[in-house]
Structure 1
Amino acid sequence: MSTATRRAVPFEGSSLAKVTADLKEEIRELYTADEVPWVIGYSGGKDSTATLQLVWLALQELPAEQRTKTVYVISTDTLVENPVVASWVSQSLETMRQAAVEQQLPIEPNRLTPKVQDTFWVNLIGRGYPAPRPKFRWCTERMKIRPSNTFIRKVVRRHGEAILVLGIRKQESQARARAMAKHEKRRVQERLSPNGNLPNSLVYSPIEDWSNDEVWTFLMQQPNPWGHPNKDLLTMYQSATEDQECPLVVDDSTPSCGDSRFGCWTCTLVDQDKSMAAMVNSGEEMVWMAPLLKLRDKLDVSGEEEHKLRDFRKMNGSIQLFGERIVHGPYTQKAREDWLRQLLEAQSRVRADAPEYVRGIELITTEELHEIRRLWVFEKHEVEDSLPRIYKEETGEDFPGRPLDEHLALGAGEIDLLREVCDGDDLLFTTARELLEVERKFRTMTRRSGLFEALEKTVKRGFFEDKADAHAYALKKKQLNEEIADRLPLIEDEDSADAPA
């Protein structure tokens, strides 16, 4: 939650023109001081837009011969961003690219995405990771931090060091203010701090002391230099607040839309996606996003309802206890197939109802679908290869991938027969299916080292009759371990007593 306070007098009594002129001069001095390249983080939001705009305006005023080093603009698309924001950022980056060429500025926009194995749907639907929680926040590192850090490290390797220009502000939150205060102690110069996470890089934060309303004042009074209207950005923020307002000069009782938060539409780390809910409720223009909000709320299930969706075993087949209860593992095969169905259904509905600028939206990419299929068949041994069938049933189109029949231990008819023989015992079925797939995998190898270990691992995974049997086994094992631990001091004392003096 933001803890921003508003100043009675904007910019501490100075004029916007004076503040802007001073910052542009500071930026030019820093830019021309050395050959260290700059990397600007751009999310498309108000703070990063204001920061990039200041840098752009400062470079415009430099002689062409002094624009000697590249300013890399990076924007990370997690592939599950709010579609309106994602479209805004994509259009802005393209406009930015063209404007930089026309204005002869060394500004290079870059849209970054996570590797396919790190995307949200590959991990949730493919591997079965449960929807992110504060204690299992697997998404941020994979989807946001890795792509940007990978890019920055490449720049550092190429040039030796880099300066990160970020739109961070002390008034964003208490946590942000504390973090910035900590790094201030080691500052190289004003607003230039060491980066605590990446070696050989510094962080420059030109608007760190600005308030929300000062950011909006700057954006509304200073035309966007790359030609992407800031009024459209204001409208986007307005639609993401319940009161539909985004005032610039306000009294203490008026909320600022600077508190709006845009992020992943799938996010379950918050109780409610207030920005998307406000957009959907803002009128018919945004109601096409309702299927996304509905799916997001379904992902945000907890307690016993969530346990029904998850395997009682961990990813490696082990049984883990927290106190006396089982710690559930990944989503079951059925749950993962259901999530895929609901996602493809939502995609079809959105494509049918969305405005033209997002009509071709991909909630999940073809590359992700191929990776999920690979994980299901070759790592989870789900040799039914159900993804193409689900895709066909939900989209009405054939899946754009080759058949895997030659790579599978069992055909569709044989799978049906095996399921019939197992007579409704799902654990027996999955164990037998995996054993057959392990045998197929090793059959063509010249050296079959590891075969017995793989078979043993599969048998151990399917050792239990059901969840209750697994729970009883884990409790008994825990009890035995505790009894052994209790006896160890006694045994050690007896050994000590028997030892010669």
Structure 2
Amino acid sequence: MNAANDLMQDHIHSLWSEIIESIKQEYLSEDQSYPWILGFSGGKDSTVVAHAVFDALLSLAPSRRTREVHVVSNDTLVESPLVAAHLHRTQAALRNAAKSWCLPVTIATTRPPIEKTFWTLLIGKGYPSPNQTMRWCTDRLKIQPTSQYILDRVCAKGAAIIVLGVRRDESETRRINVNRRKNLHQSNLSPHSELPGAFVYRPIVEMTTDDVWDAIATFPPPWGGSHTGLIQLYRDAEGGECPVVLSKAEAPGCGTASSRFGCWTCTVVEKDRSLQGFVDSGNREYKPLIDFRDWLKEIRNNPNYRSVERRNGKIQFDALGKHIPGPFTIQARRMILEKLLETQEAYGGDPLISNDEIDLIKAIWAQDLSKKSQ
């Protein structure tokens, strides 16, 4: 057993040194004015990437730390509360460490504008609860806000490099995509498929899942403390997180059986294993959130709650002539808001919906009712 542990330790120390050296070389290559944008979900893979980037920066002389690094997280405003709390704590630690060491690191969070939040679209405009065939949430809540942040940096600097915790062994789809891009591009960078001027760098692409956990267990984070909170989060949530998503091609990773903590409102998954895991671990206060999500999924296809017409006033049929129902009716939207506010009271934590969202929702209802009366 000791020999096996020694071999594991030798392997992870050697691998980690190689990754840090590779990151250093990549950081110092190309045009130094092109910023790095590190997609940070707070999960195991993005945490390992952030850890490695910090280690690489700290190993460089201050005079050589000229490239900006943006550690960018996305807040859909309906994140799983325990995951959101962990992310906020980690962001604060990263921010304090970067400031203390005078690192060229910016910690940022992207969010959807109020007119595109989950509640504004679902309760305000009546968008049906997302499912596998109509996953409108990923693009509006995740892709658009973070993509705009990247494009703003591209516009300001001429190009930007997205640093992601993508690994070859995550899934067969990931492996195929990584191999295809590697065959097309000899450098460590590959052009992003949907963001002009943006390139993707994957520093831990060859790490296995065991390697990631070994690194987390072996090396304390350079921003202080330990990775204990992250490890406990995975234990309680029964593993898995929704990854950073920057294109529709990557969207299948959001809301799948293999990505188990993300938005607490996610009706794409059949069962929220993450929140249930938290409840089973003793966090009973999250039970009302599970009940609301299950109810929201259940009422989605009830014809009594859906309009005949779509929001543009047209009636739509599929290729077989079957009617495709429109948005939730005004009555259903009122019912959902009332149920959400009841859930918020039963939950007792931070508000689940903001007053500004409620005001906008009611304004949208008034506009819709006005149109119907004309």
Match of 1:128 among 106, 126, 133: 126
Cα deviation for residue 324 of structure 1 reads: 4.3
1:177 alignment partner in structure 2: 175
CA distance in 1, matches of 2:9, 2:50: 24
Cα deviation for residue 326 of structure 1 reads: 2.1
2:250 alignment partner in structure 1: none
Q: 1:221 to 1:73 in 2, by over 3 A?
A: same
Q: Secondary structure at the match of 1:196?
A: coil
Aligned ranges for residues 47-196 of structure 1 at < 5 Å?
47-189=45-187, 191-196=188-193
Larger Rg: 1
Q: Structure 1 stretch 127-136 or stretch 191-200: which is displaced more?
A: 191-200
Q: 1:306 to 1:10 in 2, by over 3 A?
A: farther
Q: Deviations over 1:153-183 (max 9, x none)?
A: 0111111011111001111111111221221
Q: Deviations over 1:127-170 (max 9, x none)?
A: 00000122211111100000110000011111101111100111
Match of 2:21 among 21, 25, 28: 25
Query: Which amino acid letter does the alignment assign opposite residue 224 of structure 1?
Result: P
Q: Secondary structure at the match of 2:221?
A: coil
Q: Secondary structure at the match of 2:194?
A: coil
Counterpart check, 1:15 vs 2:11: yes
Query: Which amino acid letter does the alignment assign opposite residue 129 of structure 1?
Result: Y
Query: Which amino acid letter does the alignment assign opposite residue 357 of structure 2?
Result: E
1:409 alignment partner in structure 2: none
2:275 alignment partner in structure 1: 276
Structure 1 gap segments, 5+ residues each: 1-7, 243-257, 352-358, 383-429, 436-501
Say if 1:163 and 1:202, in contact at 8 Å, map to a contact too: yes
2:326 alignment partner in structure 1: 329
Q: Secondary structure at the match of 2:200?
A: strand
1:413 alignment partner in structure 2: none
Counterpart check, 1:297 vs 2:304: no
2:369 alignment partner in structure 1: 381
Number of residue-to-residue matches in the alignment: 351
Cα deviation for residue 16 of structure 1 reads: 1.4
Runs (4+) off by over 4 Å: 8-14
2:220 alignment partner in structure 1: 223
Match of 2:285 among 285, 288, 308: 288
CA distance in 1, matches of 2:212, 2:36: 22
Cα deviation for residue 325 of structure 1 reads: 3.4
2:194 alignment partner in structure 1: 197
Q: Secondary structure at the match of 1:72?
A: strand
Say if 1:241 and 1:260, in contact at 8 Å, map to a contact too: no
Please report the TM-score for the alignment, with normalisation by the length of structure 1. Answer: 0.67
Say if 1:311 and 1:330, in contact at 8 Å, map to a contact too: yes
Cα deviation for residue 101 of structure 1 reads: 0.5
Counterpart check, 1:347 vs 2:336: no
**Which structure has the higher relative contact order (CA within 8 Å, separation 6+)?**
2
Match of 2:359 among 350, 360, 370: 370
Structure 2 gap segments, 5+ residues each: 240-256
2:262 alignment partner in structure 1: 263
Say if 2:299 and 2:305, in contact at 8 Å, map to a contact too: no
Counterpart check, 1:232 vs 2:223: no
Q: Deviations over 1:208-246 (max 9, x none)?
A: 11121211110111001112531110001000129xxxx
Cα deviation for residue 366 of structure 1 reads: 2.2
Q: 1:232 to 1:259 in 2, by over 3 A?
A: farther
CA distance in 1, matches of 2:185, 2:47: 24
Cα deviation for residue 299 of structure 1 reads: 1.2
Say if 1:183 and 1:194, in contact at 8 Å, map to a contact too: no
Say if 1:237 and 1:260, in contact at 8 Å, map to a contact too: no
Say if 2:76 and 2:263, in contact at 8 Å, map to a contact too: yes
Q: Structure 1 stretch 168-177 or stretch 319-328: which is displaced more?
A: 319-328
Q: Percent identical across equivalent pairs?
A: 36
Cα deviation for residue 186 of structure 1 reads: 2.2
Cα deviation for residue 9 of structure 1 reads: 10
Q: Secondary structure at the match of 2:106?
A: strand
Please report the TM-score for the alignment, with normalisation by the length of structure 2. Answer: 0.89
1:212 alignment partner in structure 2: 209
